[in-house]
Structure 1
Amino acid sequence: MTYQTTFKRYELKYLLTRQEKEKVLKAMDPYMQIDHYGRTTIRNIYFDTDTFRLIRRSLEKPAYKEKLRVRSYETADPEDEVFVELKKKYDGIVYKRRLTLPEKIVRESFERRRDLPVKSQIGEEIKYFRHYYGQLVPVVFLTYEREAYYSLDGSDFRVTFDENILYREDDVSLGSEIYGKPLLENGQTLLEIKTSGGIPLWMSRTLSSNHLFKTSFSKYGSAYMQMMNKNAKGGVRYA
């Protein structure tokens, strides 16, 4: 069975030390609760052209940008469900389109350069995206450990903490083990605030009192920059 989901929200990012994370968690305690998954390891495969057209465009910080990835929340066997996600950002608002399909179907679709066997609006958007950019290939396997919290007031306000963010360019499979090069310094945490409306006053006060400021941090973008620096030092540059 195929499932589809859409999101429209703001996503704000902050890089925290271990001590700053503890202060934010303490402030969150009366208002938020960790979701029933607890601490999970998220696996992502990012797709791009052979010249990295998508991420190069994204790093230019245009008003509109988009990316395509496949995600799982555990080691994925062929029959396990994974998520094909088309993520767009326009004027600061993030739009995410998601299809849920068996890993084998998704993998074979990309390996054989065939459209996903889905007849839906989201399926058509992903189909158009793939045809527009041509031959998309898996370029980065990126993982991290996430703690996700939801608001007790029933709103869609969410907070996530991502740690141990790792990437690699080979062994790009949702069924593989977790290893790779780190993107954060030791003890760092990436805080993401996700909301379709405003930030609650208590959270605004917490960020302000701890002198925490928004940052521009793209996991795939950071991995790409590390990859380019490595290849530049080795005398190799991508077109």
Structure 2
Amino acid sequence: MACITTMQRYEIKYLLGAREKEAILQAMSPYMELDEYGRTTIRNVYFDTDSFRLIRRSLEKPAYKEKLRIRSYQPACPDDPVFVELKKKYQSVVYKRRVVLPEQEALQSFRENTPLPLQSQIADEIEYFRSYYSPLRPTAFLSYEREAFRMTDGSDFRVTFDENILCRNRDFSLGSEIYGVSLLPEGCTLMELKTPGGLPLWLTSVLTRFHIYQTSFSKYGTAYQKFLYQSVRGGSFHD
């Protein structure tokens, strides 16, 4: 099993309270529906250098930045599909390259520092990234509960709501239980708009009416700033 995906889009983020989320859901209801994933708990393992070179560079807000992670949309057994993702951002445009492999094969490649067991342009990009930043190691396990919506007319605009965003720096199994340190203020939801261009008028109207403004929020960046930097000094954190 091997599947290859490439995406290019803008990702715009907002922090919402319960009132703002409900207003947006009501505005969305004539136009959007849950996508094929619907409501899921997403698990991610992020990779970085021992000095956290990748996330430290990203937090400097350069014109170009990149990160590498393995993601699953369910508790992953050895034969379940997971996504090895190379995510790049250049001048506000997000480019995502990913391949799909069985969990056991993907993690074995990173654990043993061997090439991914498939050949493709995207796999080559991932391997170049791994070689350039070598050695990489798992540095963060990030999980969150997501509601994902798509347009009913088939157009390429999506909205996701992420809650219960948790982080830990151990137990990196994609089949493990969900636990860790919370990254969001209590009662908050992270909304992401994923679009190839502009926003629908019905959405800009509700954002304006409720004074909802764009924010800068990186899950991995927030985890590093709050907790992970401690491990550079030999510390740790727990739930």
TM-score bucket (shorter structure): over 0.9
Q: Determine the structure 2 residue equivalent to 1:39.
A: 39
Q: Determine the structure 1 residue equivalent to 2:28.
A: 28
Q: Determine the structure 2 residue equivalent to 1:94.
A: 94
Shift of 1:230: 5.1
Q: Determine the structure 1 residue equivalent to 2:161.
A: 161
Q: Determine the structure 1 residue equivalent to 2:211.
A: 211
Q: Deviations over 1:69-117 (max 9, x none)?
A: 0000011111111000000000100000010001111111011111101
Whole-Å separation in 2 of the counterparts to 1:146 and 1:102:
22
Whole-Å separation in 2 of the counterparts to 1:33 and 1:235:
46
Shift of 1:47: 0.2
SS of aligned partner of 1:22: helix
Task: Note the residue ranges of structure 2 that are not aligned, 5 or more in a row.
Answer: none
2:44–2:71 contact (8 Å) kept in structure 1: yes
Q: Determine the structure 2 residue equivalent to 1:131.
A: 131
Q: Determine the structure 1 residue equivalent to 2:107.
A: 107
Whole-Å separation in 1 of the counterparts to 2:22 and 2:10:
24
Q: Deviations over 1:29-56 (max 9, x none)?
A: 1111112433100000000000000000
2:169–2:228 contact (8 Å) kept in structure 1: no
Whole-Å separation in 2 of the counterparts to 1:208 and 1:126:
40
Q: Deviations over 1:144-203 (max 9, x none)?
A: 000000011211100000000000001111011000000001110000000102101111
Q: Determine the structure 2 residue equivalent to 1:82.
A: 82
Q: Determine the structure 2 residue equivalent to 1:19.
A: 19
Whole-Å separation in 2 of the counterparts to 1:118 and 1:236:
37
Q: Determine the structure 2 residue equivalent to 1:9.
A: 9
Q: Which amino acid aligns with 1:200?
A: P
Q: Determine the structure 1 residue equivalent to 2:195.
A: 195
Cα distance change, pair 117–92 in 1 and its aligned pair in 2 (3 A): same
Q: Determine the structure 2 residue equivalent to 1:68.
A: 68
Whole-Å separation in 2 of the counterparts to 1:197 and 1:153:
16
The list of structure 1 runs, each at least 4 consecutive aligned residues, that deviate by more than 3 angstroms after superposition, is: 228-232, 234-237
SS of aligned partner of 1:184: coil
Whole-Å separation in 1 of the counterparts to 2:118 and 2:144:
29
Whole-Å separation in 1 of the counterparts to 2:189 and 2:165:
9
Q: Determine the structure 1 residue equivalent to 2:143.
A: 143
Shift of 1:226: 1.0
- Residue identity over aligned pairs, in percent, reads 62
Whole-Å separation in 2 of the counterparts to 1:68 and 1:57:
14
Whole-Å separation in 1 of the counterparts to 2:110 and 2:75:
19
Q: How many residues align?
A: 236
SS of aligned partner of 2:61: coil
TM-score in terms of structure 1 length? 0.95
Q: Determine the structure 1 residue equivalent to 2:57.
A: 57
2:147–2:161 contact (8 Å) kept in structure 1: yes
Shift of 1:235: 8.8
Whole-Å separation in 2 of the counterparts to 1:36 and 1:71:
16
Cα distance change, pair 229–109 in 1 and its aligned pair in 2 (3 A): closer
TM-score in terms of structure 2 length? 0.95
